Each structure stands twice: as structure tokens, then as C-alpha cells.
Amino acid sequence: MFDHPSFDQHEDVHQFFDAKSGLRCLIAIHSTVLGPSAGGTRMWNYASGAEMLNDALRLSRGMSYKNAMAGIPFGGGKAVIWGNSRRDKSEAMFEALGRAVESLQGRYFTAEDVGIDTADIQIAARQTGYAAGLTNGASASGDPSPLTARGVFLGLREAAMRAFGTDDLSNRTVAVQGVGSVGGYVCQHLAEAGARLIISDIDGRALEEVSARDGATIVAPDEIYDVDADIFSPNALGAIINESTLPRLRAKVIAGGANNQLSDPEMGARVRDAGILYAPDYVINGGGIINVAAEILGSYSLDWVYNKIDTMVETLGRVMDEAISSGLPTSQVADRMAQKRLAKAAEGA
């Protein structure tokens, strides 16, 4: 654990196993200096336990940075479940997840993420008071995906303004990787703005729905890197900007909702050297956790959420402007800004 390349002074890493339901779960808490940790639960059919641990460590660290940059009073945490989200789910599994979250006594709040929907979290909430993104309750906020997509779209326009001198997307082609809960809403925003869409996903049904609604062109998953597009918007899984995919991209902007898009920290400089403006993922995709935070705080207001998302997009603009003026990779500028916010909070504590 302590010499793992993705370990970053994480406060807690918890392993949970429930033999009855088959739950195999890790909950990683990176930092609580800003407040109790908050982040979604992801369900994925990992190739190994080592891959699962790496995902939990990277995602929870990303949540610390995301929450700090979003300006909400929560630290960073993440739960990951090892399993096939289409085959292995059961009520017993998510009740076991709820008990696992409850056992942490408020150090971690959970919500939806990849492979998990509001119905799953609603079941977990039977066993814990530390679940959000719910459909029932006085402050229930529901599925956070539309708010994540709203922030991604607004952030994408900020990046376009800096890369092309205008945020008008009516003559832009956007390659969207992943058209699920977040990517589908991103496509809808882009289509309404007049953008031409090229889309890919492993879910054929989702592709057909988005194509029919938004007039998007469908390509095979591996072909999305090679299309002639102005903007590449990754909205699926992480580490998709790497040594093999970066040379294939023709886009001038990378802006999407996926977490941990860069395969490693050094890739930020490679993206800059390729002449591509990268909108750091944990800055642009904070709309969903802002929405969840409003629910956790107990007085949900959509106006408050929208204002926070607008502020988040302004922060993204500052990151890109500083990167452009200094010559530093946007990822490095964002990391430094997030680390300063966390350090200041730690000093105050």
C-alpha cells in the first residue's frame, strides 16, 4: 500500500467483503481537511485486485482536488465495487454497501458513479445516512449526471474560446467518447449549440438513441481517436490520453467528464507539447458533486448549484489562462491550485 505509485498520503483505505451478497468493495479516503469525504461509488469488472486498488486510490485523490476546486466543504473519497454492473447487482449487495459506508461513521458520503444508478444508491440508503444523489427526501437531488454535463459543456466552451478565439460551436466538430449518463447529456447540449457530433461507446443502444436525437455520426470505439474533430470530449473511463492515443488525436481541445483522463502526470506536458489545450478533468467535471453537496448540506437549491457551477467554470478559465501565460501544462497548474487550497485548509484546521 504505502509504496504503491498511486498512494498519496491517503488517510484511510478500507476493504469490505460480504460473502452472502458477493460484495467486494474498497473505500478510499484521501483527505478530510475540507470536511467529510464525498465521492461516488463505481462498479467495474476489474482485471485484478491491484487494478481495483489503483482505481480507488486515483479516484479518491481526484475527488479531493475536485471538491477543493469546486469550493465545497468536503474532502475526497471514493468507493469501488469489483463486479459486472449488468450481471452481478442485487439488493443484498447494495444493502451491504450501505452498511460498509455507515461503519465509517460519516467520514465518507457516497453517491452514483460509473455502473451505479440512483436506484442502487436508494437501496444502500436503507442501511446508511451517508448516501446522497437520492430520489426521496426533503433535499433529494436525484441523478447528478445532468449537472455534471452542464459543467462540462460550459467548460468546453471556455476552452474553445481560448483555443479558437470564440465559444461559438456551430462550426465545430466534437468527438464524444462515451454517451452514457454524462456523455449523453453533453451531446444534447452540444447539438443544441449547433456542433457536429461524432460519437463512440460500447453500448450500441445508447449510441443509436443519441444518434437519432442529435444527428451524431457513430464510429467504432477505437476509431474515435482518429476522427477529424476540433474538440475531443472523453466521457467514459480514465487513462484514455496515453502514449498510444495522444499521437492519433487531431483535436485542439480535450474537454470531457471522465475522471483521470491522463494516464500519468507526465502526460500533461505531452498534451501541451502536442499543441492541445486540456481542460483538467477534476475541474471541469465537478458539477455532479456540487449537486450532491447541496443535498448533503440539507437545503437543496438549484440556483445555488448553478452559481457554484458558474464559479467552477470561472476557476477553469483561470487555470487555462495561467497555463497559457506561463507555458506550464494545465494539469500542473490545476494540481498546484488544488494543493494550495488543501494546504490552506490544513493550516486552518
Burial of 111 (0-12, 13-18, 19+ CB in 10 A): buried
Q: What is the pLDDT of residue 334?
A: 98
**Bridge-partner residues for 24, per DSSP?**
17
As a dihedral over the C-alpha atoms of residue 54, residue 55, residue 61, residue 66, rounded to 10 degrees, the angle is 160
Residues of the chain with pLDDT > 90: what percent? 93
In whole numbers, what is the pLDDT of the chain averaged over residues? 96
Closest CA to 69 of 298, 280, 236, 260: 280
Cell numbers given for 215: 444527428
Q: What is the pLDDT of residue 310?
A: 98
Domains annotated on the chain, with CATH:
12-57+78-124 (3.40.50.10860), 145-286+315-339 (3.40.50.720)
Task: Identify the helix (H) or strand (E) that includes residue 41.
Answer: strand 41-44
What are the φ/ψ torsions at residue 66 (nearest 5 degrees)? -60, -50
305-323 confidence digits (pLDDT tens): 999 999 999 999 999 999 9
Cβ-contact 147, 291 below 8 angstroms: yes
Q: What is the pLDDT of residue 241?
A: 97
Q: Is the pLDDT of residue 344 over 80?
A: yes
Q: What is the pLDDT of residue 9?
A: 95
Cβ-contact 108, 79 below 8 angstroms: yes
Average pLDDT over residues 218-244: 96
264-285 confidence digits (pLDDT tens): 999 999 999 999 999 999 999 9
Cβ-contact 158, 317 below 8 angstroms: yes
Q: Is the pLDDT of residue 299 over 90?
A: no
Closest CA to 31 of 16, 12, 14: 12
Q: What is the pLDDT of residue 262?
A: 96
Instruction: Grade residue 70 by pLDDT with cuts at 50, 70 and 90.
Output: very high
Whether residue 66 lies in the annotated active site: no
Q: Which three-class secondary structure state does DSSP give residue 280?
A: coil
Instruction: State the number of CA atoms in the 13 A half-sphere of 42 facing the CB.
Output: 26
Report pTM: 0.93
Closest CA to 258 of 228, 288, 216: 288
Q: Is the pLDDT of residue 348 over 90?
A: no
Q: What is the pLDDT of residue 272?
A: 98
137-180 confidence digits (pLDDT tens): 777 888 899 999 999 999 999 999 999 999 999 989 999 999 99
Residue 320 to residue 334: CA distance in whole angstroms: 9
Q: What is the pLDDT of residue 152?
A: 98
Q: Is the pLDDT of residue 20 over 80?
A: yes
**Bridge-partner residues for 112, per DSSP?**
41
> Catalytic residue among 78, 89, 252, 308, which?
78
